[in-house]
A and B are shown apart, each in its own frame.
Chain A
């Protein structure tokens, strides 16, 4: 009798506590899926790291592929002392830095103009920018190739097979998207802020430089990271437009120089890929410190 009463009391209390029970289950599911994602996304890099520490003999030996029996840094030493690899690295770095700079120099003023300076056709232009981004590079590279060939015929200036041709090509991918991101960020800045600046005597340029860029800094950093990642990892354009070994960027260079016919130098490919992944990682980690969300808090009523 007493036991039955107790059970009843407990069950009725549980019913009241259903909010926390729901929360507990939600948490369990979150952990389950998060762990699943972590496994899914981290397995390839871990496998790359393991393979990069193996000799070619060990890679092709029939042993447990998830364990290194004779760890070696030979792959790293060879790549980091290879002039070719360092050229790829240098080309990639130059291209990425210049592309990021030009992209931001074009995208930020463009986004400011499109989001704030209401002029005839600005809405159509903004949509146009977005549509440009929707056209995949796989569709673009053949007409672009043709254009460059024609440019050569007309002017005699050869654009093909030069590392710096990427400086013209990559912005076709980065500028539309970065402009679009920045339009979004600028649109979230209350209109009164630029009106206040306008009344305070700021020109459009001063409003952009002194108000909009500092306030939209998180967005600016997001766009910078995006532009850098796209430039650093771009594969199709450099593969199509550059062929000489000294003109290649890292992603294409690794593939073309480390795969000889049907011989795959797996250890070095993995090492090259890992080393190639480092700069975006470092940049991301560095910029995260500045990526302070909620910078606009306090601008208007809060």
Chain B
């Protein structure tokens, strides 16, 4: 068990491409941290640098108290689970899991004890004598995790471990991974491009983009208080709506002009914060789909009601997603399946502006 510190780490490839551009991150002991971002954002490179599979161009990586920049992977006391499992095809599950221990010349009894323990945690006891090709995708992923667990390392590294599984199995394995972490409590760094995976698994999520860290925070922080437009748009599904607005002042109150007809009132508690930005040319209003709902009579006075003709509706069962336009912006809202939403119909909608975000389009920062 150990903390992991990343200090001003840079990774530049031979061609001059900078995959990671000076990131700082402190991962606490026993913490489950998820690196998330679109492909090419540097998350896998960061993980591989922690593992020692990539050289570090600049900065320092510490595992526990030690700088490990020049320590080979085998001496870093880490275990890694790969996207495509990377099981040794000629070995049985037992041999796969015990390979690392056998190399380190552990006594046979201890090896068997650890393998049995890991197999019990992962519920793969009956698979120990099989070869990887006789296993399903989910079982292979369990074995890959087992191989990591038996080593009892300081840090677990997961590189998109669920990407190759089908949607249903992915949800199931996600829960498994969470359970395993609850049982084993090892510091974990987990890379994924799937924000749902990031939100559900992480103690803290690190959102990366273009080789830098956009924001670090708990899933709730990232969801409710994103600091940049990228984080606001990346976290949440369907994604947050962005629509260009201009901030207008009328006495003590502020209004967000969305179109000639619609001016959203700014909640009173935010008026002072936003006042310096009145008249700024490029502002974006960010509002999540669940904050645009069907207007119901019992809803509070903070809601702004407006009518919109619907372009497309997507009934999901427990809710219906509605897509409509205000000006040039396409917006998505979530309404009750009984709200009477249908393609082409006009629906009265309510925007919950207490949950709004105002974004400066020039700096991409949330104001």
Asked if A39 is at the interface (CB within 8 A of a chain B CB), the reply is no
Contact A201 B51 (CB under 8 A): no
Asked if B236 is at the interface (CB within 8 A of a chain A CB), the reply is no
Binds B, one of A25-33, A48-56, A293-301: A293-301
Q: Is the interface of A mostly helix, strand, loop or mixed?
A: helix
Asked if A262 is at the interface (CB within 8 A of a chain B CB), the reply is no
The residue on A at minimum CB distance from B84 is A300
The residue on B at minimum CB distance from A214 is B90
Asked if B103 is at the interface (CB within 8 A of a chain A CB), the reply is yes
With A297-B133, A298-B132, A298-B133: A201-B104 Cβ-Cβ less than 8 Å: yes
Contact B86 A196 (CB under 8 A): yes
Binds B, one of A81-89, A107-115, A187-195: A187-195
Looking at the complex, which one of B80, B90, B135, B137 makes contact with A196 (CB distance below 8 Å)?
B80
Contacts of A250-302 to chain B: CB distance below 8 A: 295-302
Contacts of B87-103 to chain A: CB distance below 8 A: 87-90, 99-100, 103
Q: How far is the CA of A198 from the CA of B80 in the complex (A)?
A: 10
Contacts of B129-151 to chain A: CB distance below 8 A: 131-135, 137, 140, 147, 151
The residue on B at minimum CB distance from A198 is B73
CB-defined contacts of B103 to chain A, threshold 8 Å: 200-202, 206
Q: How far is the CA of A210 from the CA of B147 in the complex (A)?
A: 16
Contact A297 B82 (CB under 8 A): no
Interface size on B, residues (CB 8 A): 32
CB-defined contacts of A302 to chain B, threshold 8 Å: 133, 137
Looking at the complex, which one of A193, A215, A298 makes contact with B131 (CB distance below 8 Å)?
A298
CB-defined contacts of B329 to chain A, threshold 8 Å: none
Asked if A199 is at the interface (CB within 8 A of a chain B CB), the reply is yes
CB-defined contacts of A299 to chain B, threshold 8 Å: 85-89, 132
Contact B74 A196 (CB under 8 A): no
For the complex formed, measure the closest distance between the CB of B277 and the CB atoms of chain A, giving whole angstroms.
49
Contact B86 A195 (CB under 8 A): yes
With A198-B53, A199-B73, A298-B132: A215-B104 Cβ-Cβ less than 8 Å: no
With most chain B CB atoms within 10 A of its CB, the pick from A199, A214, A298 is: A199
Contact B89 A196 (CB under 8 A): no
CB-defined contacts of A197 to chain B, threshold 8 Å: 88, 99
For the complex formed, measure the closest distance between the CB of B161 and the CB atoms of chain A, giving whole angstroms.
11
With A200-B74, A200-B99, A201-B103: A192-B86 Cβ-Cβ less than 8 Å: yes
Q: How far is the CA of A297 from the CA of B135 in the complex (A)?
A: 11
Looking at the complex, which one of B87, B90, B100 makes contact with A201 (CB distance below 8 Å)?
B100
Q: How far is the CA of A239 from the CA of B178 in the complex (A)?
A: 71
Chain A-chain B contacts (Cβ-Cβ < 8 Å), number: 87
Asked if B164 is at the interface (CB within 8 A of a chain A CB), the reply is yes
Contact A301 B85 (CB under 8 A): yes
For the complex formed, measure the closest distance between the CB of B48 and the CB atoms of chain A, giving whole angstroms.
8
B-contact bits for A136-147, CB 8 A (1 contact / 0 none): 000000000000
Q: How far is the CA of A214 from the CA of B82 in the complex (A)?
A: 21
CB-defined contacts of A296 to chain B, threshold 8 Å: 89
Q: How far is the CA of A190 from the CA of B83 in the complex (A)?
A: 12
CB-defined contacts of B135 to chain A, threshold 8 Å: 298
With A192-B86, A211-B88, A300-B85: A199-B79 Cβ-Cβ less than 8 Å: yes
Q: How far is the CA of A296 from the CA of B90 in the complex (A)?
A: 8
For the complex formed, measure the closest distance between the CB of B335 and the CB atoms of chain A, giving whole angstroms.
39
Q: How far is the CA of A301 from the CA of B85 in the complex (A)?
A: 7
For the complex formed, measure the closest distance between the CB of A302 and the CB atoms of chain B, giving whole angstroms.
7
Looking at the complex, which one of A190, A206, A301 makes contact with B164 (CB distance below 8 Å)?
A301
Contact B86 A215 (CB under 8 A): no
Q: How far is the CA of A268 from the CA of B52 in the complex (A)?
A: 65
Asked if B351 is at the interface (CB within 8 A of a chain A CB), the reply is no
CB-defined contacts of A199 to chain B, threshold 8 Å: 51-53, 73-74, 78-80, 100
Please list the residues of chain B having a beta carbon within 8 angstroms of any beta carbon in chain A. 51-53, 72-74, 78-80, 82-90, 99-100, 103-104, 131-135, 137, 140, 147, 151, 164
30 A-B pairs within 8 Å (CB atoms) are namely A190-B86, A192-B83, A192-B85, A193-B86, A195-B51, A195-B80, A195-B86, A196-B86, A197-B88, A197-B99, A198-B53, A198-B74, A199-B53, A199-B80, A199-B100, A201-B104, A202-B99, A206-B103, A215-B90, A217-B90, A296-B89, A298-B87, A298-B134, A298-B140, A299-B87, A299-B88, A300-B86, A300-B87, A302-B133, A302-B137
**Top 3 A-B pairs, shortest CB-CB distance:** A298-B133, A298-B132, A300-B84
Known: A196-B82, A295-B90, A299-B85. 17 other contacts (CB 8 A): A190-B84, A192-B83, A192-B85, A195-B73, A195-B80, A196-B147, A199-B52, A199-B79, A199-B80, A199-B100, A201-B100, A215-B89, A217-B90, A298-B131, A298-B140, A299-B89, A302-B137
